[in-house]
């Protein structure tokens, strides 16, 4: 787009690829994220001294922090994302569920808000019916979640969920939902501008998860047909129109027995956004920046065409058997190529992966005219990928895409845990 960029980084990331490729870079602190990537004044100072116009919050750390977005705007910068009000609304899961009900998005049966006390927990569980899931209101990443299959398990689960929530988020508020036994994780990608235009860009199937962390994503979902896709996409787009939402957003659902149930909304760019780009031909980051600049969408819902199939494998710097992190020096790195193959990565030969941050090392994204063609290309691309000096999850993906259940598209959010335990 011809826009000059400034990269901020910690001392641990001084040699990172984004630092080397940016027009300018500013060190904002030492390795601990609280002293660098979560240091709001340091980031604002970096934008000020470099004369930046806008701040893109990325995909982690402060990307969904309403206070940071407000600080960015108060200092005269454009926040490339939703409004602080929408970040705050959808960042609290109880409020987000209330908003979903208000905007006519289907939700999992459960409490109307925070569960206040054991008596209320018991009454709600009996109304919803066992099994139930108790979840942290300020949660994420699987923390502060407990299942109670029968009444005798409810109070211990309630207490443990509150305790975990307080330790992880500094907030012990919890709420309750019906526990679904075999759901898929389906998310709808939304794009909205400042002029009331909203489109959905189809769905992504993110059901392959380990400990609530996504491992592989594909689009479209093998579980949905065109009618279901249009139905839930329309509901999501209508809700965002009523909300007055702007920028990218992802509305996440559980899907079981033909029914969709709202989980949460991610008010940022997703790690798995490339699979949507591959099937729509749209550059989501470019569109996000255009919307941030005040430009209207350059297309309507009728212009969005889903073409072919795409799969993304998250290549993590970790042992494929034990899942222990494997930071260290990358000796050799060869990215696969060819028609329909894309690799998003910050790796290069000689780069040292720091131990302080997420283990995601590369994203291998493959596109084909059909799911079968996509899988054939993915199998070849995984064989072609070379990363030496560290352990990676590549062998896990090779096992995974050869499994009959995966090949047939017959999996749910609990399938991968059982698969890796074999």
Active site residues: 268
C-alpha to C-alpha distance for 95 and 159, rounded to whole angstroms: 22
DSSP 8-state secondary structure symbol assigned to residue 77: P
> How crowded is residue 409: how many other Cβ atoms within 10 Å of its Cβ?
14
- The two structure tokens encoding residue 61: 């750390």
17-to-9, 55, 295, 352, 358 alpha-carbon distances in Å: 11, 19, 30, 11, 15
Task: Tell me which residue of 383, 272, 269, 285 sits closest to 336, measured CA to CA.
Answer: 383
- The two structure tokens encoding residue 231: 């139905």
Q: Who contacts 106 (Cβ-Cβ below 8 Å, separation ≥6)? A: 235, 253, 259, 260, 261, 262
Task: Tell me which residue of 160, 90, 93 sits closest to 121, measured CA to CA.
Answer: 160
Q: Who contacts 299 (Cβ-Cβ below 8 Å, separation ≥6)? A: 199
């Amino acid at each position: 787009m011809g826009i000059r960029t400034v990269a901020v980084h910690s001392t641990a990331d001084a040699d990172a690829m984004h630092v080397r490729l940016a027009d300018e870079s500013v060190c904002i602190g030492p390795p601990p994220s609280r002293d660098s990537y979560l240091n709001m004044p340091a980031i604002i100072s970096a934008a000020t001294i470099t004369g930046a116009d806008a701040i893109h919050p990325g995909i982690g750390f402060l990307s969904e922090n309403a206070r940071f977005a407000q600080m960015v705007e108060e200092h005269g910068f454009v926040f490339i994302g939703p409004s602080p009000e929408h970040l705050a609304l959808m960042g609290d899961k109880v409020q987000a569920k209330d908003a979903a009900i208000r905007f006519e998005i289907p939700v999992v049966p459960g409490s109307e808000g925070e569960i206040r006390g054991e008596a209320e927990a018991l009454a709600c569980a009996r109304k919803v019916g066992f099994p139930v899931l108790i979840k942290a209101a300020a949660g994420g990443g699987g923390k502060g979640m407990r299942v109670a299959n029968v009444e005798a398990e409810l109070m211990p689960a309630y207490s443990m969920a509150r305790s975990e929530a307080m330790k992880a988020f500094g907030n012990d508020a919890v709420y309750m939902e019906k526990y679904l036994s075999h759901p898929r994780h389906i998310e709808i990608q939304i794009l909205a501008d400042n002029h009331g235009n909203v489109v959905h860009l189809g769905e992504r199937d993110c059901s392959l998860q380990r400990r609530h962390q996504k491992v592989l994503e594909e689009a479209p979902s093998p579980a949905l047909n065109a009618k279901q896709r249009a139905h839930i996409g329309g509901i999501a787009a209508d809700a965002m129109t009523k909300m007055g939402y702007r920028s990218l957003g992802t509305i996440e659902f559980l899907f079981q027995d033909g029914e969709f149930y709202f989980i949460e909304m991610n008010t940022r760019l997703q790690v798995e956004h490339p699979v949507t780009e591959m099937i729509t031909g749209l550059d989501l980051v470019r569109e996000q920046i255009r919307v941030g600049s005040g430009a209207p969408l350059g297309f309507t819902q009728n212009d969005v065409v889903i073409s072919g199939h795409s799969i993304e494998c998250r290549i993590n710097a970790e042992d494929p058997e034990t899942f222990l992190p494997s930071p260290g020096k990358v000796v050799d790195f060869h990215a696969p190529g060819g028609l329909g193959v894309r690799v998003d990565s910050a790796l290069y030969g000689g780069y040292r992966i720091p131990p302080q941050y997420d283990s995601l090392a590369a994203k291998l994204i493959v596109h084909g005219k059909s799911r079968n063609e996509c899988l054939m290309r993915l199998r070849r691309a995984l064989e072609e990928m070379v990363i030496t000096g560290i352990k990676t999850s590549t062998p896990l993906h090779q096992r995974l895409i050869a499994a009959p259940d995966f090949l047939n598209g017959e999996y749910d959010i609990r399938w991968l845990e059982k698969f890796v335990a074999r």
